[in-house]
Chain A
Amino acid sequence: MMKSEDFEMISSLLKKRSGLILPKDKVYLLESRLTPIAHKRGLETLDELLEEVRRYSKEDLLTEITEAMTTNESYFFRDNKPFDLFKDIVLPQLLESRAGRKRLRIWCAAASTGQEPYSLAIILKEMEAKLAGWDIEILGTDISQQVLDKAKMGLFSQFEVQRGLPIQLLIKYFNQVGELWQISDEIRNMVSYRKFNLLDSFSLLGSFDVIFCRNVLIYFDQTTKTEVLEKMRKLIPDDGWLFLGAAETVLGITDKFKPVQGQRGLYSTSDASTEVISKLKAG
Chain B
Amino acid sequence: MKSCLVVDDSKIIRKVARRILEELNFDIHEAADGQDALDTCKGAMPDVVLLDWNMPVMNGLDFLKALRKTEGGTEPIVVFCTTENDMSHISAAISAGADEYIMKPFDREIIESKFVQVGLL
Residues of A within 8 A of B (CB): 75, 80, 158-159, 162-164, 166-168, 170-171, 175-176
Residues from chain B with a CB closer than 8 A to the CB of A170 are 90
- The total number of A-B Cβ pairs within 8 Å is 32
Bound CA span A167–B85, Å: 12
Chain B: CB-nearest residue to A162? B110
Chain B: residues with Cβ within 8 Å of the partner, total of 17
Task: Determine if B44 is an interface residue (Cβ-Cβ < 8 Å).
Answer: no
Closest 6 CB pairs of A and B: A167-B101, A162-B110, A163-B113, A176-B87, A167-B100, A158-B103
Residues from chain A with a CB closer than 8 A to the CB of B117 are 164, 166-167
Task: Determine if B71 is an interface residue (Cβ-Cβ < 8 Å).
Answer: no
Query: Within the complex, which residue of A164, A168, A176 is in contact with B86, where a contact is CB–CB below 8 Å?
Result: A176
Contacts known (A80-B116, A158-B103); A171 close to B91, Cβ less than 8 A? yes
Cβ–Cβ contact A168 & B113, under 8 A: no
Residues from chain A with a CB closer than 8 A to the CB of B86 are 176
Cβ–Cβ contact A171 & B87, under 8 A: yes
Cβ–Cβ contact A158 & B113, under 8 A: no
Contacts known (A171-B87, A171-B91, A171-B94); A166 close to B113, Cβ less than 8 A? no
Cβ–Cβ contact A164 & B90, under 8 A: no
Contacts known (A158-B103, A176-B86, A176-B87); A163 close to B110, Cβ less than 8 A? yes
Residues from chain A with a CB closer than 8 A to the CB of B113 are 75, 162-164
Interface centre among A75, A162, A167, A176 (most CB of B within 10 A): A167
Bound CA span A175–B94, Å: 16
Cβ–Cβ contact A162 & B114, under 8 A: yes
Cβ–Cβ contact A158 & B87, under 8 A: no
Task: Determine if B109 is an interface residue (Cβ-Cβ < 8 Å).
Answer: yes
Bound CA span A167–B86, Å: 12
Task: Determine if B17 is an interface residue (Cβ-Cβ < 8 Å).
Answer: no
Residues from chain B with a CB closer than 8 A to the CB of A171 are 87, 90-91, 94
Task: Determine if B61 is an interface residue (Cβ-Cβ < 8 Å).
Answer: no
Residues from chain B with a CB closer than 8 A to the CB of A168 are 94
Bound CA span A166–B110, Å: 12
Bound CA span A176–B84, Å: 13
